[in-house]
Chains A and B, each alone.
Chain A
Amino acid sequence: MAIDIQLKATPLSSDECIKKVQDHHCGGLAVFIGTVRNQTQGRPVDHLEFEAYEPMAVKEMSKIAEQMMDRWNAKHVCIHHRTGHLALGDVAVIIAVSTAHRAEAFASCQYAIDTLKQTVPIWKKEIFEDGEVWVAAHP
């Protein structure tokens, strides 16, 4: 069993994440890739800035990986998240997981991205042509 958690200021690789979780004991491998959208509620986005409270972000992502192992018997989990400047279409996050069967792969991967968005101290700023906003900061 292996957990690979990384915050990176350089482009993420889905190939690398998949290789980290491949295992002949596993019949299922699910990957979630989160990318930068070109608009928010119709307002065109120019680019994004991600910042993280790094030691705690790594700790919270590790907790998610451990929960995937406890609840769905995930064999290997890889979570890579970007920081810094991201352009449209760039990959912000990759979650890869391998399990014995497909149902656990899908379910644990969905749990991971949903929980990451709620608990991991990473913040995204959307930069528009005419301003910028920290996503989700205000009601």
Chain B
Amino acid sequence: MEIKVLAFGIARDIIKASEIKLELSEQSTVDEVKDSLVKLYPDFNSLRNFAIAVNCEYVEDSAPVKQGDEIVIIPPVSGG
């Protein structure tokens, strides 16, 4: 399946775009989203950490992702 991933902050700088499409197998999880991002863009390894939000919620790495979900890379936040 093809999923769309949105990027903000330094994640947008790393992928040099505000969104990318990833090809994942059916029944993939957040873990696989992270793995394929790191493989495509090793600079993600240089971050303190990064989370993935699915449909506007932080989720565990074991959470499933499916086509049509709003999937967003959340690099370390720095508001306030």
Contacts and interface: CB of A to CB of B under 8 A. Distances in A.
Interface of A: 34, 50-53, 55-57, 59, 81, 92-93, 113, 116-125, 134-139
A114 B79 CA distance: 10
B9 A117 contact: no
Chain B: interface size category: 20 to 34
Contact of A113 (B46, B78, B80): B80
Contacts of A122: 77-80
Contacts of B72: 53, 56, 121
A52 B75 contact: no
Given A118-B77, A121-B74, A134-B10, 16 more contacts: A52-B8, A59-B57, A81-B79, A92-B79, A119-B58, A121-B72, A121-B79, A122-B78, A123-B10, A123-B77, A125-B9, A134-B78, A135-B78, A136-B77, A138-B46, A139-B48
Nearest to A120: B79
B13 interface: yes
